[in-house]
Amino acid sequence: MKICKSVLNFFIREKILLALLVMFAVVSAAADSFFTVGNLSNLLIQVGLYGVVALGMTFAIIGGDFDLGAGPMVSFSSMAVALLLGRVGVVPAILITLFIAFCLGLCNGLLVAKAKINSFIVTFGSMVILQGMALTLGDGSPAATNHPAFNQIGALQIGRISFIFIIFMVLLLACHWILRYTQFGRNIYAIGGNYEVARSSGIHVDFYKASLFVLSAVFAAVGGILMAARVNTGHPTIGDDMTMTVIAGVVIGGTSLSGGKGNVWRTLLGIFVMMFLSNAFDALVIQPYIQRVIKGLIIISVVAIDSYSKTKIDVGDAGVLSKISKKL
């Protein structure tokens, strides 16, 4: 009896997980092609590719910001690494691509932290710039990777689990450790929770603000490199639609857009939901343009629920403060 009650309480707390399990069962029953080893393996690959980008976005959103340039950074990085492979080799191509992403993320971070420009404006501008840079690198055309060792990264499997998903899980564990057990992680939560209080307590808020955009850019670049390895091609628009999907996944997982709340395990759940929906739509033969409408509605709903939850918390906090002030 106690076990049943514990399980019930768990699913009451984890509504997203319960909804995912129910949808999984329904789609498996409705589409014979869904619950197969090959399809589930592809689902994990998609979770890995989007999940890597979502890890960087989780840092940014916990810190009270977001990065609209994450998707175009994926496109740009896939093109950059594809073009560099034939000139400098696999390892230098990857390192150079990551360094470029680091520098571009640092530029965004400094504009937000030092110049005090709104992150929406900065990252919207960088989104447009990166889209242009990605198209310029290949004159608007994809670039084949043509390097067997690099392409093996995307094709390699351990059992039936893709190496891409394994890389994602290793990075997720590292991010979990950073956020939970290091001063760096605790300070990011503090800045996202209350920027002014964090600054007053002596936290070097400009450093952490800039770091958020560096992390987002570098993780997006890793996603672009893995994407290029997976499809054996760098594509100038391959990541352009990723940003909103990633943000929706992070927020669905429970990371608040207002900052100060969330963790990477919840992000894993949120991204799994978004990738499951895409996979299920394909299995159920739902037209792509209808899929975009549904995803748009999901994004609006998620943001609305997050905003409503934040309003309730703020009202509750205000009531508590009012009672305290009356007693004083």
* Residues 173-220 pLDDT 10s: 999 999 999 999 999 999 998 888 888 888 899 999 999 999 999 999
Q: What confidence tier does 94 reach under pLDDT thresholds 50, 70, 90?
A: very high
What pLDDT was estimated at residue 326? 46
**% the chain with pLDDT above 90:** 44
Residues in the chain, total: 328
Rounded to an integer, the average pLDDT of 260-286 is 87
What pLDDT was estimated at residue 241? 83
pLDDT at 307 over 80: no
What pLDDT was estimated at residue 187? 93
* Nearest alpha-carbon partner for 112 in 76, 69, 74, 75: 69
Is the distance from CB of 306 to CB of 257 less than 8 angstroms? yes
Is the distance from CB of 275 to CB of 100 less than 8 angstroms? no
What pLDDT was estimated at residue 125? 94
Tokens of 206: 């400009």
* Nearest alpha-carbon partner for 100 in 233, 247, 7, 224: 224
Rounded to an integer, the average pLDDT of 162-181 is 94
* Residues 65-87 pLDDT 10s: 989 999 999 999 999 999 999 88
What pLDDT was estimated at residue 328? 41
The three state secondary structure string of the chain is CHHHHHHHHHHHHCHHHHHHHHHHHHHHHHCCCCCCHHHHHHHHHHHHHHHHHHHHHHHHHHCCCCCCCHHHHHHHHHHHHHHHHHHHCHHHHHHHHHHHHHHHHHHHHHHHHCCCCCHHHHHHHHHHHHHHHHHHHCCCCCEECCCHHHHHHHHCEECCEEHHHHHHHHHHHHHHHHHHHCHHHHHHHHHHHCHHHHHHCCCCHHHHHHHHHHHHHHHHHHHHHHHHHHHCEECCCCCCCHHHHHHHHHHHCCCCCCCCCCCHHHHHHHHHHHHHHHHHHHHCCCCHHHHHHHHHHHHHHHHHHHHHHHHHHHHHHHHHHHHHHHHC
Region of 64 (left: φ > 0; alpha: ψ -120 to 50; beta: rest) is: left
Tokens of 110: 């400094």
Rounded to an integer, the average pLDDT of 90-94 is 93
pLDDT at 93 over 70: yes
* Residues 7-49 pLDDT 10s: 566 656 667 777 778 878 888 787 777 778 888 888 899 999 9
pLDDT at 317 over 50: no
Q: Which residues contact 167 (CB under 8 A, 6 or more apart)?
A: 48, 52, 226
What span, in angstroms and rounded, lies between the C-alpha atoms of 185 and 33? 42
What span, in angstroms and rounded, lies between the C-alpha atoms of 265 and 261? 12
pLDDT at 280 over 90: no
pTM, entire model: 0.88
pLDDT at 320 over 60: no
Q: What confidence tier does 1 reach under pLDDT thresholds 50, 70, 90?
A: low
**CATH no. of 33-308:** 1.10.3470
Rounded to an integer, the average pLDDT of 93-107 is 95
What pLDDT was estimated at residue 306? 63
